[in-house]
Structure 1
Amino acid sequence: MKIGIVGLGLIGGSLAIDLRSQGHQIFGISRKEITCKIALERKIVDLASTNSNILNETEIVFVCTPIKAIAPTIEQIIPHLHSQTIITDVGSVKQPVVETCSQLWANFVGGHPMAGTAESGIEAAQSNLFVDASYVFTPDKNTSPEAVERLKAIALSLNAVPYICDAKIHDRAVSWISHLPVMVSTSLITSCLSDEPEILQLAKQLASSGFRDTSRVGGGNPELGIMMAKYNRAELLRSLVKYRQSLDKVITLIEAENWDNLEQILQTNQQARPKFLN
């Protein structure tokens, strides 16, 4: 199969590596010549260019750009595509993307592979990034079932776990398990930085696995955090308010020295957490 990858960063590059290893012919598009050069040198793609005309024979195109660039990118590549080409994206917010892009291209299917690292760029691209990761597709009422099945098959070939759901439901769910944690983690780091220099210095020296785990997503790519907040604003605010209410409850229990009720919350969470970890 001839597959286009527009945006050769961590996700796009990693998709290219795995799909090319399966025998697909990969056509990569990047804004930067140096990225194209690296992708070719590392044999991540078969052909790379800053010009979208190399996509004219592709059957499927993955748009792996930041969320704000997805729709403009699709508008840019449309003149070079066959009418039956399937376009999908990898953005972490789906409803606004699907609403806009499905109007631009009838054969568009919203997608979100839930995998990544703290690194970014073509240099961070790696094989097997999607193994055991959830890969969500968010068709609307006009989406071709055949297009969804073809993308589902690709997800399975990556050893990912495909899910099909409504875009709005996706956005509410990821606000809890992806977008809220980024904001909570960011707030944790910001709070630490507000303490006195002597305390902060010691905290940095003592920080271990607990701080590493809870601060990781807050120390990631700032652009991704902004895109989550901007494009999933309503659902993120909803989850943040509920989180604040839970935090206020914990504060009240500690102030009142209500250790029994606090223990009940901790026990409930201890039992609930494994169910969130696939």
Structure 2
Amino acid sequence: MKVGIIGLGLIGGSLGLDLRNCGHIIYGVSRKESTCNRALKKEVVDYADINLKSLSTVDIIFICTPIGLISQTLKQLIPHLSKEVIITDVGSVKTCIVKECESLWTNFVGGHPMAGTAEQGIEAAQKNLFKNAPYVITPTEKTPENSMKILEELAQSLGSLVYTCSPEIHDQSVAWISHLPVMISASLIAACSEEKDKSILKLAQQLASSGFRDTSRVGGGNPELGVMMAQYNKTALLHTLQGYSQQLDEITEYIKTEQWDSLQKLLMITQQERSPFIGIEKNS
């Protein structure tokens, strides 16, 4: 199969490596000539170009641009394609993207491979990035069934765990486990940094270890991506922020009024309820 990939960063480049290893012919497109050359040298793609016209003969295209550029990229693609070409994306928000893109292209299938690292760019591309990682496909009633099955087969060939749901359910789910943690983590860093006593702030920075590192990691990530999460998944994110705020208020009240038994009960519940989210029960 001829596979087109637009955007040769971490996700696009890693897709290229693995799909090429599966025997597919990979056509890559990047805005920078230097990225195209590097992708060829790293054997991420078979062909690379800065022009979208180079994808006119492919069977399926993965749009691996930032969320805000997905529909814009699709509009630029359309004049160069036949109607049989399947187009999918890798954006972390689906409702608004799927709605706009399927109005532009009837053979569009929303997708979200949930894998990544802190690194970005073509140099970060790696093999097996998607192995054992979730790959969510978000069809609507308009999605061609055969196109969805082809994307599912490609995702499975990457070793991904494929899930299928509506764009709306996807967005609310990732708001809880991906977008909300970014905002909480960022708030933690901001609150700590606003400590007025410089000696306390300095010592806190010196003492910070694995607990702070783990809880602050996603808040110290790509600011542009964080803003896009909030901008394009606003409703779902606000819902989760409200729920989190209520829980934080409850804990604050327990401590303020010295309800230690209530606090202990809550912590015992959260100790038990954490495991399904991090795979302990899934892998047992």
Category of TM-score, reference length = shorter chain: over 0.9
SS at match of 1:173: helix
User: Within the alignment, does 1:111 sit opposite 2:102 as a pair?
Assistant: no
SS at match of 2:274: helix
User: Within the alignment, does 1:266 sit opposite 2:267 as a pair?
Assistant: yes
How do 1:140-179 and structure 2 match up within 5 A? 140-179=140-179
SS at match of 1:82: coil
Shift of 1:197: 2.3
CA distance in 1, matches of 2:41, 2:202: 43
How do 1:154-233 and structure 2 match up within 5 A? 154-195=154-195, 196-233=197-234
What amino acid sits opposite 2:218 in the alignment?
V
How do 1:78-117 and structure 2 match up within 5 A? 78-117=78-117
Shift of 1:165: 0.4
SS at match of 1:12: helix
What amino acid sits opposite 1:230 in the alignment?
Q
Q: More deviation in 65-74 or 199-208?
A: 199-208
**1:5 aligned partner:** 5
**2:38 aligned partner:** 38
Shift of 1:257: 1.0
Shift of 1:80: 1.5
CA distance in 2, matches of 1:130, 1:269: 29
Q: Provide the aligned length of Structure 1 versus Structure 2.
A: 278
CA distance in 1, matches of 2:37, 2:193: 40
CA deviations 1:120-159 (Å, max 9, x no partner) are: 1111111111111110011110111111111111111111
SS at match of 1:128: coil
Shift of 1:82: 2.1
Shift of 1:182: 0.3
Task: Flag structure 1 segments of 5+ consecutive residues without an equivalent.
Answer: none
Aligned residues with identical type, % of pairs:
56
Task: Flag structure 2 segments of 5+ consecutive residues without an equivalent.
Answer: 280-284
CA deviations 1:73-103 (Å, max 9, x no partner) are: 0011111222111000000000000100001
SS at match of 1:118: coil
Root-mean-square deviation (CA, aligned residues, Å) is: 0.8
- Deviating beyond 3 angstroms after TM superposition, the runs of 4 or more aligned structure 1 residues are none
How do 1:113-152 and structure 2 match up within 5 A? 113-152=113-152
Shift of 1:114: 0.7
SS at match of 2:103: helix
SS at match of 1:83: coil
Q: More deviation in 194-203 or 19-28?
A: 194-203
**1:63 aligned partner:** 63
CA distance in 2, matches of 1:92, 1:30: 20
What amino acid sits opposite 1:208 in the alignment?
S
Shift of 1:200: 1.9
CA distance in 2, matches of 1:123, 1:133: 21
CA distance in 2, matches of 1:148, 1:157: 14
SS at match of 2:143: coil
When the two structures are superposed, what TM-score results if normalisation uses the length of structure 1?
0.98
CA distance in 2, matches of 1:248, 1:38: 51
CA distance in 1, matches of 2:130, 2:218: 18
CA distance in 1, matches of 2:205, 2:131: 34
SS at match of 1:159: coil
**1:235 aligned partner:** 236
What amino acid sits opposite 1:241 in the alignment?
Q
